[in-house]
């Protein structure tokens, strides 16, 4: 692979990239003889150059798939090749901006290591030995198996049609719901786990329980900001991030950063206060005590909207959550806590940022509730400069005709969880119960899509055993990830630039609906996800129907009454009926039904539509646009419907504190000679999904271990030295970064590195995988993964 790229031009959004050779760069066991024997698809020339030309080109609206934010852009296409990605000036959410990840999305399509065609395993799981097959052969292997693994038909027959023997996991994205429809509703299993339980599950849960919304923030008009644990200046670069930081340092929004590390966010803040990991709750409770003790709260607001408000006030005061109490716990001086509480409540438009981070501690759910209540005490909710409920544009719901499987058993990942009913489940509890033999029935199949649990779920050693335990693993993805190496069948998905995706609605303050259109046709033998869902459903429908006929008495009765053909077609057994229309056709139908033909014309051309768009949208200067006039934005929409749930009695019935409460077992402590490892993300990478991207790798080549400079000196560790980091569950090696930006008893590493898949030329063996080192602790409300509870040993190697 040859890469020709100018860093300056890349950051400006003008990309020059040359990929030489349509085959994989560096032959591995994954593609070995099959690559040599068959070559690549004739659809892709041996030399693909994406240098931007000056001639005729198409401009295709797309929605970025490089992270969760989904910014809009236009793909410049010359002679069937994407040569440049530009921001879309019509989308209020992304406001004519693409970050470095968004610009590097072009490499997603042209990554030489991407999955090019269906594969069936011919070696030991994890060995990377696969055979190239046709799509029909791949679907047949899923249904009927091979000599190395059982097929779905045999497994379900052995389980007497218990569809719950199937588990499935899913990553974030616009085709997520279709995969859930296929496996969850059509195949009929409740055993679903997704990225939420290893991401921001407690944040969403805590804010929804307290305020009824996970809010949007109006940073543009805020004047005081507390941001704790979230590293916005590095983790996600979006227009609202820019709104935040262009006004710090005395320019309109005083910012207090609460974080164990001195991050770039801390550097851009007006004040940085290092906090002991996992003790933010003590800090917020102490802030709240100051407010109540000095009567700083918006009393009228809380008396009107607060549920259990008086009880919460007495709860805080009676527990004596004073700043003096909090100081030895969280490491923040009492005088700073007093100052911040007073400044926050005296500000015109203060915001305690809800956070987009992972779960750091077992008390994370209660922390989010305490944060939401503290914000409410200011009265700065459902108003300009505060938390925004907004008015999202609602798309009409879709009806799915799915069969009912009488033999299916209920989901079981409930051990140690107060509220196990969320659809997203708990990855750790689900995995561990199966490994420990606590599942009430066998789980023998895993369907996986756009998800890499080997590098995202804490305790990789257990995830490896879990995937090895399955009788059948199926992966739908773009790259040969670590988890894909444990699949029996791999189905290659088209990249986000090669597919049209279901229309979506985004935004609360300035809502819009957006559409991703395919910039180019799927490369090699890849297919759009919805096409995969349809074809796989067609392959499975009749054989699995025959199995259900053997064991499902209700089905047998219906066949006697109405005939097999009618039952199959009318009762949802035709598993492919949800994808009879193409995504483009369905999008057109949905939008025209909801907003009329003119709306569809605008959306199809510009990729974005919102009511009055032609009237509202105006260019203000070369890089700034008006989307909604300020008097048409949805700053305040809830009126007297607002509620702030300070006391949640239902929690007590599940053994959870009905009000945020501190427990001493949450105090931070690290044994002598060990370190608390903390982890995080960076704006140039999205978890493990982008660490093979050549353009982003050029910006950040690997992850380093941050270690306190004084400690490193005593240990004889210098910058760039290779060190081993070891916990009770695993270990890894990476280079050291001695710094004064972290406390002596803590170390830090970026997430997403350390791949063991030899199919990824740039990611393989690069740095260390934090999931291999982190313990699999859970918080007790949702069973979400706790990321900052692991102590480690460090040694120079």
- 3-state per-residue secondary structure call for 635-684: CCCCHHHCCEECCCHHHHCCCCCCCCCCCHHHCCCCCCCCEEEEEECCCC
Confidence label for 193 from pLDDT (cuts 50, 70 and 90): very high
Average pLDDT, the chain: 90
**Is 26's pLDDT higher than 50?**
no
Among 171, 187, 169, 194, which Cα is nearest to 447's?
A: 169
According to DSSP, residue 295 is labeled T
* Distant-in-sequence, close-in-space partners of 476: CB < 8 Å, separation ≥ 6: 179, 447, 448, 449, 450, 490, 491, 493, 529, 532
**Taking residues 607-631, what's their average pLDDT?**
95
Confidence label for 793 from pLDDT (cuts 50, 70 and 90): very high
Between the CA of residue 305 and those of 296, 310, 369, 373, 638, what are the distances in Å?
Answer: 17, 12, 15, 11, 11
Among 175, 137, 107, which Cα is nearest to 451's?
A: 175
Q: What are phi and psi of 649, to 5 degrees?
A: -60, -30
The reported pTM is 0.92
Q: Is residue 220 within 8 Å of residue 243, measured between CB atoms?
A: yes
* Distant-in-sequence, close-in-space partners of 320: CB < 8 Å, separation ≥ 6: 289
CA gap 82, 89 in Å, rounded: 19
* Distant-in-sequence, close-in-space partners of 782: CB < 8 Å, separation ≥ 6: 197, 201, 202, 205, 365, 417, 418, 419, 420, 422, 426
Residue 297 CB-half CA count within 13 A: 24
**Taking residues 489-502, what's their average pLDDT?**
97
Output 237 or 203, whichever has higher pLDDT: 203
CA gap 698, 721 in Å, rounded: 21
Q: Is residue 474 within 8 Å of residue 448, measured between CB atoms?
A: yes
β partners of residue 793:
726
Among 302, 462, 424, which Cα is nearest to 372's?
A: 302
CA gap 606, 616 in Å, rounded: 15
Reading the block at residue 769, the tokens are 């995988």
78-82, 154-158, 410-414: range with highest mean pLDDT: 154-158
**Is 235's pLDDT higher than 90?**
no
Q: How confident is the model over 725-757, as pLDDT tens digits?
A: 999 999 999 999 999 999 999 999 999 999 999
Between the CA of residue 164 and those of 179, 411, 782, 790, what are the distances in Å?
Answer: 16, 7, 21, 33
Q: How confident is the model over 771-788, as pLDDT tens digits?
A: 999 999 999 998 999 999
Reading the block at residue 347, the tokens are 């500000």
Burial label, 29 (beta-carbon count in 10 A; 0-12, 13-18, 19+): middle
**Taking residues 544-555, what's their average pLDDT?**
96
Residue 225 CB-half CA count within 13 A: 37
* Distant-in-sequence, close-in-space partners of 715: CB < 8 Å, separation ≥ 6: 794, 795, 796
Q: How confident is the model over 300-352, as pLDDT tens digits?
A: 999 999 999 999 999 999 999 999 999 999 999 999 999 999 999 999 999 99
Confidence label for 48 from pLDDT (cuts 50, 70 and 90): low
Q: Is residue 489 within 8 Å of residue 142, measured between CB atoms?
A: yes
Q: Is residue 507 within 8 Å of residue 93, measured between CB atoms?
A: yes
Using only C-alpha atoms, what is the Rg of the chain? 27
CA gap 208, 779 in Å, rounded: 17
**Is 176's pLDDT higher than 70?**
yes
Q: How confident is the model over 676-717, as pLDDT tens digits?
A: 999 987 767 777 778 888 888 888 889 999 999 999 999 999
Mode of pairing for the β-strands spanning 216-217 and 387-388: antiparallel
β partners of residue 513:
505, 609
pLDDT, residue 19, reads: 26
The three-point CA angle 354-230-206 to 5° equals: 30
Confidence label for 2 from pLDDT (cuts 50, 70 and 90): very low
pLDDT, residue 47, reads: 53
pLDDT > 70: what percent of the chain? 93
**Is 39's pLDDT higher than 50?**
no
CA gap 449, 494 in Å, rounded: 12
* Distant-in-sequence, close-in-space partners of 403: CB < 8 Å, separation ≥ 6: 186, 188, 548, 571, 572, 573
- CA dihedral sign, ordered 707, 712, 715, 721: positive
pLDDT > 90: what percent of the chain? 79
CA gap 166, 444 in Å, rounded: 6
Burial label, 303 (beta-carbon count in 10 A; 0-12, 13-18, 19+): exposed
**Taking residues 382-392, what's their average pLDDT?**
96
CA gap 217, 209 in Å, rounded: 18
Q: Is residue 76 within 8 Å of residue 86, measured between CB atoms?
A: yes
Mode of pairing for the β-strands spanning 722-726 and 618-621: unpaired
Look at the block and give the residue holding tokens 């198996």. 145
Q: Is residue 296 within 8 Å of residue 381, measured between CB atoms?
A: no
């Amino acid at each position: 692979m040859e890469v020709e790229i100018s860093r300056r031009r890349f950051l400006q959004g003008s990309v020059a990239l040359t990929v030489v050779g349509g085959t994989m760069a560096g032959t591995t066991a994954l593609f070995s003889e099959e690559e040599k024997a068959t070559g690549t698809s004739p659809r892709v020339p041996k030399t693909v150059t994406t240098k931007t030309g000056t001639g005729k080109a198409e401009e295709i609206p797309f929605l970025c798939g490089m992270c969760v934010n989904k910014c809009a852009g236009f793909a410049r296409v010359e002679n069937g090749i994407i040569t440049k990605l530009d921001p879309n000036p019509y989308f209020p959410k992304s406001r004519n901006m693409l970050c470095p990840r968004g610009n590097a999305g072009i490499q997603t399509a042209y990554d030489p290591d991407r999955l090019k065609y269906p594969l069936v395993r011919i070696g030991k799981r994890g060995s990377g030995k696969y055979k190239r097959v046709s799509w029909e052969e791949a679907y047949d292997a899923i249904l009927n198996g091979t000599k190395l693994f059982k097929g779905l038909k045999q497994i379900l027959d052995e389980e007497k049609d218990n569809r719950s023997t199937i588990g499935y996991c899913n990553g974030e994205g616009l085709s997520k719901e279709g995969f859930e429809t296929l496996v969850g509703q059509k195949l009929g299993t409740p055993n679903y786990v997704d990225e939420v339980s290893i991401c921001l599950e407690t944040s969403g849960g805590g804010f929804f329980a307290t305020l009824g919304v996970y809010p949007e923030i109006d940073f543009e008009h805020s004047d005081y900001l507390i941001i704790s644990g979230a590293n916005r200046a590095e983790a996600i670069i979006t227009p609202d991030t820019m709104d935040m930081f262009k006004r710090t340092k005395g320019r309109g929004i005083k910012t207090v950063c609460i974080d164990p590390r001195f991050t770039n966010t801390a550097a851009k803040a007006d004040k940085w206060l290092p906090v002991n990991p996992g003790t933010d709750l003590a800090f917020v409770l102490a802030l709240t005590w100051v407010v109540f003790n000095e009567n700083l709260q918006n009393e009228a607001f809380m008396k009107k909207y607060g549920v259990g408000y008086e009880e919460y006030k007495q709860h805080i005061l009676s527990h004596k959550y004073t700043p003096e109490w909090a100081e030895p716990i969280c490491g923040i001086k009492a005088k700073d806590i007093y100052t911040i509480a007073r400044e926050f409540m005296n500000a015109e438009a203060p915001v305690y940022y809800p956070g987009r981070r992972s779960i750091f501690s077992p008390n994370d759910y209660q922390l989010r509730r305490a944060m939401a209540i503290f914000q409410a005490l200011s009265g700065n909710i459902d108003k300009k400069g505060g938390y925004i409920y907004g008015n999202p544009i609602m798309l009409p719901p879709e009806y799915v005709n799915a069969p009912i499987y009488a033999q299916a058993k209920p989901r079981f990942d409930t051990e140690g969880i107060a509220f196990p009913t969320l659809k997203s489940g708990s990855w750790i509890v689900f995995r561990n119960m199966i490994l420990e033999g606590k599942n009430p029935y066998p789980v023998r199949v895993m369907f996986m899509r756009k998800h890499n649990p080997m590098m995202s779920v804490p305790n990789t050693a257990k995830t490896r055993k879990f995937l090895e335990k399955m009788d059948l693993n199926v992966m739908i993805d773009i790259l040969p990830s670590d988890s894909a190496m444990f699949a029996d069948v791999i189905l290659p998905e088209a990249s986000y630039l090669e597919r049209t995706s279901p229309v979506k609605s985004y935004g609360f303050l300035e809502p819009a609906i957006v559409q991703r259109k395919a910039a180019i046709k799927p490369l090699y033998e890849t297919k759009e996800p919805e096409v995969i869902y349809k074809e796989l459903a067609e392959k499975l429908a009749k054989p699995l129907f025959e199995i259900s006929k053997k064991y499902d008495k209700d089905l047998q009765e219906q066949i006697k009454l109405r005939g097999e053909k009618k039952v199959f077609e009318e009762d949802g057994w035709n598993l492919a009926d949800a994808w009879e229309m193409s995504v483009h056709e369905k999008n057109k139908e949905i939008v025209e039904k909801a907003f009329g033909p003119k709306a569809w014309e605008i959306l199809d051309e510009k990729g974005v539509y919102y009511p009055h768009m032609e009237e509202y949208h105006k260019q203000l200067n070369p890089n700034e646009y008006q989307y909604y006039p300020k008097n048409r934005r949805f700053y305040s929409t809830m009126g007297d419907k607002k509620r702030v749930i300070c006391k949640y009695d239902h929690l007590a019935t599940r053994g959870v504190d009905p009000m945020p409460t501190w427990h001493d077992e949450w105090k931070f402590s690290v044994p002598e000679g060990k370190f608390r490892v903390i982890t995080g993300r960076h704006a140039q990478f999205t978890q493990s999904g982008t660490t093979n991207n050549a353009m982003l790798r050029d910006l950040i080549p690997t992850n380093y271990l941050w270690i306190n400079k004084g400690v490193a000196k005593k240990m004889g560790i210098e910058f760039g030295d290779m060190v081993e980091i070891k916990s009770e569950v695993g270990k890894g090696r990476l280079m050291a970064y001695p710094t004064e930006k972290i406390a002596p008893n803590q170390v830090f590493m970026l997430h997403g590195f350390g791949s063991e898949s030899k199919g990824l030329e740039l990611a393989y063996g690069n740095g260390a995988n934090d999931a291999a080192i982190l313990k699999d602790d859970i918080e007790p409300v949702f069973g979400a993964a706790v990321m900052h509870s692991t102590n480690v040993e460090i040694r120079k190697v």
